[in-house]
Amino acid sequence: MYIFLVGIFAALPEAPKVMVNMPSHYVLVTWNKAIHLVMPGLEETICFESCPSAYSLMSDGVAAEQVKKFFFTSRKTQETGPHDESLEIYIPELLQASYSFYTWPSAPVLAWYLWENRKDIVGQKVLELGSGTALPGIVASKCGAHVTLSDSANLPKSLQHIRRSCELNGVTSQVKVIGITWGLFLTNLLKIGPLDLILGSDCFYEPSVFEDIVVTVAFLLERNPHAKFLCTYQERSADWSIEHLLNKWGLTCNHIPLTGLGADAGITLAELMQDHTIHLLDIRKST
């Protein structure tokens, strides 16, 4: 097993810069006063929609909110003929310098994987770590999983933002939101009930936190030996690796091939990854 987190690390885009430095394949279209961010070929599948009516000020009066619409679909052939299934998710983003108020490219990839494997997660007990805007966890909830979303206990505004994501998607009553800081064994982590699945999108974004995440996952998998940690990561530096940490903490890892992800809905992998290289790992307790 040889796991590198490869690529060129771009400095953390403060939220306003994210908007300025949009990947070149986004097309900005103005239509009926609404601004649509459209990825070519994805108009019918993933649509990022920035609607002026969705802009608001948070209660502290500082951050403008933008809502992105993610549209998941697939075309199934049934006895009665072709049959479309679809799901719309609304994700709020804030124009603020923080990792957690922006949906990182790894999140739609993990969300699409969950959507395409939704039959497997019905009724599962799922915890998302470092949820940020929480796209994968909310998709899991909409697909019938019992979901707990988390972000750093030191970031109350991030936890509030997760609650806002839940509210926009009508899952507030069925999704728990808690503070879990990687590497800290505090009450919320210690009292989590049984888990089948742990999710993480772009948690391995900065080497200084790698061991904190791995140790937290190792703790949860020790308590839930049948569970797995599904995580997407974005290649950023050729020097980054988590292999030694997985070995140290008794974990094994398999790459899940993403070939064909989105194909059912007419999306290419390149479009889904938005010009980045993103991998999906299945991490479990070593036997």
Ligand X SMILES: C[S@@+](CC[C@H](N)C(=O)[O-])C[C@H]1O[C@@H](n2cnc3c(N)ncnc32)[C@H](O)[C@@H]1O
Which one of the spans 20-28, 116-124, 125-133, 255-263 is the region binding ligand X (CB under 6 A)?
125-133
Specify the residue for token string 């403008």.
Answer: 64
Our CB check for ligand X shows the closer of 6 and 266 to be 6
Q: Which of 205, 210, 229, 233 binds ligand X (CB under 6 A)?
A: 205
Nearer Cβ to ligand X (91/246): 91
Under the binding rule (CB under 6 A), the answer on residue 133 touching ligand X is yes
Among 47, 209, 253, 258, binds ligand X (CB under 6 A): 209
Nearer to ligand X (CB atom), residue 42 or residue 213: 213
Which run of H or E residues covers position 252?
A: strand 251-256
Which residue is listed with tokens 């974990």? 251
Q: Where are the alpha helices (DSSP H) in the chain?
A: 15-20, 106-116, 118-121, 135-142, 156-168, 187-190, 210-223, 243-248, 269-273
Residue 6 or 155 with smaller CB distance to ligand X: 155
Total chain residues near ligand X (CB under 6 A): 22
Residue nearest to ligand X (CB): 132
DSSP 23-44: -TT-EEEEETTEEEEE-TT-TT
Token pair of 137, please? 């966890």
Which residues, 6+ apart, have CB-to-CB distance to 242 below 8 Å?
3, 5, 204, 210, 214, 253
Specify the DSSP element, H or E, that contains 147: strand 146-151
Helices (H) and strands (E) in the chain, counts: 9, 14
- Shortest approach of ligand X to residue 158 CB, angstroms? 5
Nearer to ligand X, 45 or 100 (CB): 100
Burial of 101 (0-12, 13-18, 19+ CB in 10 A): buried
The minimum distance between CB 132 and ligand X, in angstroms, equals 3
**Residue 202 touches ligand X, criterion: CB under 6 A:** yes
Q: Which of 101, 265 has the CB closer to ligand X?
A: 101
10-69 positions binding ligand X, by CB under 6 A: none
Taking CB under 6 A as the binding criterion, the range among 19-27, 38-46, 200-208, 272-280 that sits at the site for ligand X is 200-208
Question: Which CB, 42 or 91, lies closer to ligand X?
Answer: 91
Q: Which CB atom, from 87 or from 215, has the smaller least distance to ligand X?
A: 215
Binding mask 139-158 for ligand X (x = CB under 6 A): ------------xx--x--x
Distances (CA, A) of 148 to 166, 206, 213: 11, 24, 17
Binder of ligand X out of 73, 132, 249, 272 (CB under 6 A) = 132
Quick check: 181 binds ligand X (CB under 6 A)?
A: yes
Nearest one of 230, 287, 283, 276 to 105, comparing CA atoms? 276
Interface positions, 75-114, toward ligand X (CB under 6 A) = 99-100, 103-104, 106-107
Strand-pair partners of 38: 27
Q: Is there a contact between 22 and 9 (Cβ–Cβ < 8 Å)? A: no
Binding interface with ligand X (CB under 6 A): 99-100, 103-104, 106-107, 130-133, 151-152, 155, 158, 181-182, 201-203, 205, 209, 212
